[in-house]
Structure 1
Amino acid sequence: MERKATLIREYQSILFPGLIQTPDYARTLIRARRPQAPDEEVEELVAARMGRLDDLMQRGATLWVVVDEMVVRRPIGSAEILGAQLDRVTTLIQSGAIRLQVLPLENHPGLCAPYRVVALNDRRNALFLENARGGEIVDKADLVTEMSMLFSAMQAEALTTRGTLELIQAVKGQIA
């Protein structure tokens, strides 16, 4: 589905999306989910994850991410890994490669599981609902519309780009 995307709108409540993870952040997550996996397999999975954003950008697709504030604050692996992840996100935002907004900790419409709404190159939209085993693709128009509207509501409640960058820098200052 990602290979046919022209626009991906992704909400994450727990982690930074795989598309924008650093190698160490991704490696830590993969190791946590697959503690028995051989190093070679883990490194193959990390490498595959690292190339996805470049592929998306080369096709001219847009990535718009909304994350819960805890995503920015949650140390995955170590403070150093989180700091490097925050640096990467800052660079991606400032370069215009992605749009990313943070939903403040207060109650907000994003109190739900992670998902992404994907606009495909054949003018259809699809929904990817994440779960512990990966996720499922849904193309029921009413559900896709509902989740698109929820994403729009989250965008409206989220911090601006400037506010998001200020929060990221404040968190970096706290973990340094």
Structure 2
Amino acid sequence: MPGRPQPPTARLRRLAAELLRLRKTADLSREAVAEQTGINKATLYRIETAKARPQARTLKALLELYAVDEDKRDELTVLLREANQQGWLQTFSGELPDRYSTYIGFESEAAKLLTYEALIIPGLLQTEDYTRALIRGMMPDGTDEEIENRVAARMQRQQVLEGGQLRLWLVVDEAALRRSVGDPVVLQAQLEHMQQVAKKPNVTLQVLPFEAGPHPALLGAFVILKFGELGAPDMVYIESEAGDLFLDDEPSVERYDNTFEHLRATALSATASVEFLRRLAREIP
């Protein structure tokens, strides 16, 4: 039985974007490239949309056709060599839903995450007990093994916050903070944990209080992923029961960038947010 396909990495997405740009700069259609290289037009489409990883000889043929200089060839060859690196996610292969695996693969490569969460504590801030209680509630028919695998994966995800390479900016709605997940001890520990994570120099946490009223993100949570020096296009991730969305077209990313700017301008300051969490933790009976 064949294994499930691996989600595209940020490196593969950058390689795809570069090959598309180079073809357009050379003013060649896919049909023209197919005629001159023998590369199937459908295969070229899959390569340029990061749905397929090109073979080394295919990449060489394309770069020769596009008259790419040696330095750029070396750069893209390295991208191809590293395009399938999945990191720690391979440990959980086959145990996590495809859509979740795809997202956390991108998350592990991002340089910056801008997160708005409306209903639950964001995964990168969750305690183990909170995560376990949350997943049990969301997967009432899940086995103990399935639930523990999800818990372990979420705890592993949080390693991206260590070392300071990832810049994380979160806006969390008051509704997420007040939702009862687990018993009062679990919730209180969760709120205290958030206060500690907020002290990390690479983390900015803001609370969006009820009194802020209507805002542009009332329809739901989202994450903007920015890949920095990797050069892959920025991406917006939206999770839903109907299926997850990954948007990387410029108008969509710009729209969500603007929405996030509005949210962080409306939310409490980082200092006031920590005080809000402290006060809320004291209110738990």
TM surpasses 0.5: yes
Q: Which runs of 4+ in 1 moved over 6 A?
A: none
Q: Which residue does the alignment assign to 2:90?
A: none
1:102 and 2:207 are equivalent in the alignment: yes
Q: Which residue does the alignment assign to 1:57?
A: 162
Asked whether the 8 Å contact 1:128–1:138 carries over to 2, the reply is yes
State the one-letter code of the partner of 2:236. Answer: L
State the one-letter code of the partner of 2:200. Answer: S
Q: Which residue does the alignment assign to 2:130?
A: 25
Q: Which residue does the alignment assign to 2:139?
A: 34
Q: Which residue does the alignment assign to 1:174?
A: 283
Please give the alpha-carbon distance, in whole angstroms, between the structure 1 residues aligned to 2:240 and 2:193. 25
Please give the alpha-carbon distance, in whole angstroms, between the structure 1 residues aligned to 2:220 and 2:242. 13
Q: Deviations over 1:57-110 (max 9, x none)?
A: 347011111011111222212211111111110000123342110111021423
1:127 and 2:236 are equivalent in the alignment: yes
Of structures 1 and 2, the larger Rg is shown by 2
Q: How large is the RMSD of aligned CA atoms in angstroms? A: 1.6
Q: Deviations over 1:112-134 (max 9, x none)?
A: 21000100232521000121256
* More relative contact order, 1 or 2 (CA 8 Å, 6+ apart): 1
- Considering fraction of residues, name the structure with more strand: 1
Asked whether the 8 Å contact 1:127–1:144 carries over to 2, the reply is yes
Q: 1:3 to 1:170 in 2, by over 3 A?
A: same
Q: Which residue does the alignment assign to 1:113?
A: 220
Please give the alpha-carbon distance, in whole angstroms, between the structure 2 residues aligned to 1:8 and 1:95. 15
Aligned counterpart in structure 1 of residue 249 of structure 2, from 140, 158, 161: 140
| Matched pairs, number | 176
Q: What runs of 5+ residues in structure 2 fail to find an aligned partner? A: 1-105
Secondary structure in structure 1 of the residue aligned to 2:239 = strand
19-28 or 120-129: bigger deviation: 120-129
- Considering fraction of residues, name the structure with more helix: 2
Of all paired residues, the percent bearing the same amino acid is: 32
Q: TM-score, normalised by structure 2?
A: 0.59
